[in-house]
Amino acid sequence: MSLEHSEQEIIRREKLKAFETQGINAYPADEYPVNAYSMDILKNFETQPESYQEVCVAGRIMSQRIMGAVSFYELQDAYGRIQVYTKRDEICPDEDKSLYNLVYKKLDIGDIIGVKGFVFITQMGEITIHVKEFTLLSKSLRPLPIVKQTEEKTYDAFTDPEQRYRMRYLDLIVNPHVKETFIQRTKIINEIRNYYNEQGYLEVETPVLQSIPGGAAARPFVTHHNALDIPLYLRIANELYLKRLIVGGFDGVYEFSRNFRNEGMDRTHNPEFTCMELYVAYKDYQWMMHSVEVLIERISVTLHTTTKIQVGDAVIDFKTPFARVSILDAIHQHTGFDVSAMNENQLRDVCNQLKIETDESMGVGKLIDEIFSETCEHHYIQPTFIMDYPIEMSPLCKRHRSNPKLTERFELMVNGKELANAYSELNDPIDQRNRFEEQLRLLEKGDDEAMYIDQDFLRALEYGMPPTSGVGIGIDRLVMFMTNSPSIQDVLLFPQMKPEKQIAVAKDEEFEKIGVSKAWIPAIRQLGIQTITDLKATSDTKLFNDLNGLRKKMKLEIDALQLDEVKSWLKNK
């Protein structure tokens, strides 16, 4: 009897033992000479059957239909599923039918096998591998969630989000669309890489561990470097490092940056996420807008062969050019207020009229941002560049060429969400120092998102950075749009989850080892004490009282415990 295994698991372990006694290694080391894949066979068999007379395919058994001396299994390999047909008397030509009866028929859903044979079409019209020989490649000890489907319907889909995310391997096995999403994710990243490489930009790697978490406004994760005895931060952005490289003379650099932000989690936020950042010398944000829209359109066409894609209830058209609207125009358009010339008090008044909550720490920039996100953001379903943000909101962005209160910045909004953020980068070191100092003042005012000052970055700017435009594209969100995934967890292979609680249970022998008599073990478990550690953490008198109390209550036929006995259990480590 086993506490930790279900009936089905026990049966599978017994099968494993039975295979061993029959001389079958359930986990062989040998290379298996796969020479064909399910999708390839299904696609090409009818036009070139001669190529599939000796195939060797490996995969996981996903369904079994055993009909006496004949059986049909479905094998799933990396590209799909294919049916295999096995006839007892072919794999067991002699009197001894045990290879079929005691091995092949005993295989389970989830086992990984290899088959050699030829491809044919059944009476039902299904392309199938006729098995001449099979090899067990890996025995599965846990039952797989069984998902069955016809063309139009799926039965008993494995849907519990917690289990899907915690056990992504299972999700990938039984939910084929999940695999497709992650294939598309990689295609998107490859497409971006191709696009930039074609233009001669250099993919680089910059520090993830930073001593000053700069380049964005967010709370960082802190860690500690023992040898240097300093705190280090997981990067919240890589922007300042890429700009240093532009100072260093690269013309264009980009990085797919895994960023870490110690903030809330929800449908669109994960503590670690991927942002692609690109910096190109001698360009401005107008150029960058064009570059971004061309890229996004290209990704859509590569993935879907069209610029129009379904995202939730909306159809989004990524056909260039995308709409462009300044943030102040957007606010004017959606609220009727012209906030372009307003000071802090006037903006607060507008917020009150619009029933937007404000607090003391908010400056002009933040107030405008607040008005925009409350009243405008959700209107931009189709891709739209929102441009020319107020200067207070953008401490790393160059002042607007025609209005010193604004910056040359744009955000790309899609489906009411920000997808990209770009600047004509601030390269005036004196202005940059002032802006950082302004951030410092905000910090003192209580704005905990204000940026830290990176002195080395300022020094780099003082050596001179060419006019540069930079962009950050949220890769996870882009993938969400492109794959119509409603949650960021659907586009991250292993989204962050609270760790599972391990319910440790000590074996009876472990209790006996420290001197607990067998009769008392069930009573101890009854008290909710399942490990030696738990037991040792309980005071001797409490244990003594509880156990004797239990003895009385449950009328246990054991001699009453002596306190000394309890003490002896807890004595040594």
Partner RNA sequence: GUUUCAGUAGCUCAGCUGGUAGAGCACAUCCCUUUUAAGGAUGGGGUCCUGGGUUCGAAUCCCAGCUGGAACACCA
**Which parts of 11-70 interact with RNA (CB under 7 A)?**
11, 63-70
* Nearest distance from C-beta of residue 29 to RNA, angstroms: 26
Q: Is 411 in the site for RNA (CB under 7 A)?
A: yes
Take residue 305 and report the two structure tokens written for it. 């062969």
Nearer to RNA by C-beta: 117 or 252? 117
503 lines the binding site for RNA (CB under 7 A):
yes
Q: Which residues contact 556 (CB under 8 A, 6 or more apart)?
A: 519, 523, 550
- How would you class 502 by CB atoms within 10 Å of its CB: exposed for 0-12, middle for 13-18, buried for 19 or more? exposed
3-class SS of residue 223: strand
Exactly one of 35, 53, 122, 186 binds RNA (CB under 7 A); that residue is 122
Q: How far is the CB of 466 from RNA (least distance, A)?
A: 25
By CB under 7 A, tell whether 571 contacts RNA. Answer: no
Q: Are 36 and 55 in contact (CB under 8 A)?
A: yes
225 vs 279: CA distance, rounded Å: 30
**43 vs 142, which CB is nearer to RNA?**
142
Residues from 159 through 198 that contact RNA (CB under 7 A):
159-163, 165
Using CB under 7 A as the criterion, what x/- string covers residues 298-337 for binding RNA?
----------------------------------------
- Residue with smaller CB distance to RNA, 191 or 411: 411
Confirm or reject binding of residue 80 to RNA (CB under 7 A). Answer: no
Q: Which two tokens stand for residue 231?
A: 């705190």
Structure tokens at 568: 């002896």
Check residue 358 for interaction with RNA (CB under 7 A): no
Give the nearest distance from C-beta 386 to RNA in angstroms.
8
Q: Which of 20, 98, 146, 194 binds RNA (CB under 7 A)?
A: 146
Task: Decide: is 109 part of the binding site for RNA (CB under 7 A).
Answer: yes
Among 22, 190, 199, 373, binds RNA (CB under 7 A): 373
* 100: DSSP letter: I
Question: Rounded to whole angstroms, how far apart are CA atoms 334 and 56?
Answer: 63
Binders of RNA among residues 265 to 304 (CB under 7 A) are 265-267, 269, 273
State which residue, 128 or 439, has the beta carbon closest to RNA: 128
Place of tokens 């240097």: 228
CB-side neighbour CA atoms (13 Å) of 199: 18
For the chain, how many residues are written? Answer: 573
Query: Which range of residues in 258-266, 310-318, 340-348, 516-524 is near RNA by CB under 7 A?
Result: 258-266
Count Cβ atoms below 10 Å from residue 122 Cβ, excluding itself: 12
CA distance 455 to 549: 68
489 sits near RNA (criterion: CB under 7 A): yes
Cα 320 to its chain centre, rounded Å, is 30
> Which of 218, 301, 342, 354 lies at the binding interface for RNA (CB under 7 A)?
218
Could you say which DSSP state residue 214 is in?
Answer: -
Minimum Å distance from CB 236 to RNA?
A: 7
